[in-house]
Amino acid sequence: MISTATAVRTPESPLRDAHSVASPARISSSRLASLDGLRGVAAMVVVFHHLYLVAEPVLRQQGGIGVGSALWWLSQTPLKLLTAGSEAVLVFFVLSGIVVALPALKPGGFSWAGFLSGRLARLYLPVWASLVIGTVAIWIVPRSNSVITPGTWMDKAQATAVGWGSLFTEASLTTGSYAVNNVLWSLRWELVFSVLLPLFVALAILVSRYWAIAVAAVCVMSTLGVINGIDALRYLPVFFIGTLMAVRLDAIRQWTQRRLLRPRAGLAGVALVAGSLVLLIGEWMMRPVFASGSLVNTLLSQLSLLGATGLVLSAIAVRPVRSALEARPTQWLGRVSFSLYLVHMPILATLTFAFGDDRWWLVAILTLPLALLAAWGFHRIIERPSHRLARTITGAVTARLETHRGDSVRPGT
């Protein structure tokens, strides 16, 4: 069982108040629907990002990258927010840190074995289904690199054929690259985080009083991971930020309530949202000054961790943002976001190889509605049943463990 503790009173901030560790009872009493909406928005941004990657080489050839070109507008202005796919994945990781950790903070104990058993089903079954879709798409629509600009992401990162060995490797979520369905790379880290959840929660509780130092430390760790090419060090700290937010969720809510009652609360909300967005894509805005790949650019890009965290905080704390994310369209996107994330790449890749990346506009026109429709169907047929099965497995494993514990302590056994 993972317990929580209460810390001393400290100065006011969004993560710090009289009760520095979240109260499990209050955590479980109110669902953060706005976070579902934010997940849906992030999933759409990933789709737009991949469409941008298809169009980018053609736009570069046609108009260059100078000021006023299509690429300049899409990558070095605030429009970049629409295609900030890598940054959107960081938002996913922070959100996962919160929502996966919250059950471990509920009163009455937490069965890690039960959780992990259900979590594996919840992750792997949709992943395997998406790989089946991707494989069938490759078999039905033959892929030739002759219609793709050489050296581009679509040329280098997409499978043109599928072997059983590579398929099983991708299905395990243990490899570093995924050619049948590119997005699975992030699910690898979701899996690792799930396995390490007890450690993350325990550590977050231990350092919850010193949250600012902890956030700074994990940002430094992530930056070292980027510089040294260590993906585990780069991405796992992002999950820890979300876990820390879960532990301090009551503190965040109480800070929110006090801030919203103050004069100029609207200005504070605007500052939080605007600052988060600037941090999220700031390195793109600064690329004319600091070239991509330079040390300064790398350091600037790591500010996106704080930007992603700020956006999650905004979804909880800023009333207009929360209302927008709780609206019906964004809630629907949130509901199918995992399915959309999994199915859009097989569709996009198939259409790109069918029509060629020079007709990226046709690929985009077809991909968007087809991906949303496929996500809806995938959610109903695959994802939702896998969720039900995961809950059943979690309950069964937990009950079996409780029975075993009871038998092991019974006198005479």
Instruction: Return the percentage of the chain with pLDDT > 70, whole number.
Output: 89
What is the DSSP code string of 235-255? HHHHHHHHHHHHHTHHHHHHH
Gyration radius of the chain's alpha carbons: 22
CA 106 – CA 7 distance, rounded (Å): 18
**Residue owning tokens 């991405």:** 235
Each residue's pLDDT tens digit, 188-246: 999 999 999 999 999 999 999 999 999 999 999 999 999 999 999 999 999 999 999 99
> Which letter does DSSP use for residue 383 in this model?
I
**Coil/strand/helix, residue 289:** coil
| C-alpha closest to that of 337 among 278, 368, 399, 379 | 379
How many whole angstroms separate alpha carbon 305 and alpha carbon 280? Answer: 7
Rounded distance between C-alpha atoms, residue 70 and residue 92, angstroms: 28
* Single pTM value for the model: 0.89
Band of pLDDT at residue 361, cut at 50, 70 and 90: very high
- Binning the chain into helix, strand and coil, the percentages to the nearest 5 are 75, 0, 20
Q: Each residue of 294-324: pLDDT tens digit?
A: 889 899 999 999 999 999 999 998 889 999 9
Answer yes or no: is pLDDT of 84 > 90.
yes
For the beta carbon of residue 328, count every other beta carbon within 10 angstroms: 8
Q: Give the model confidence (pLDDT) of 138-194 as tens digits.
A: 999 999 988 999 999 999 999 999 989 999 999 999 998 899 999 999 999 999 999
332-337 average pLDDT score: 97
Tokens 């053609």 found at? 58
Spatial distance between the Cα atoms of 326 and 341, rounded to a whole number of angstroms: 20
Q: How many residues are present in the chain?
A: 413
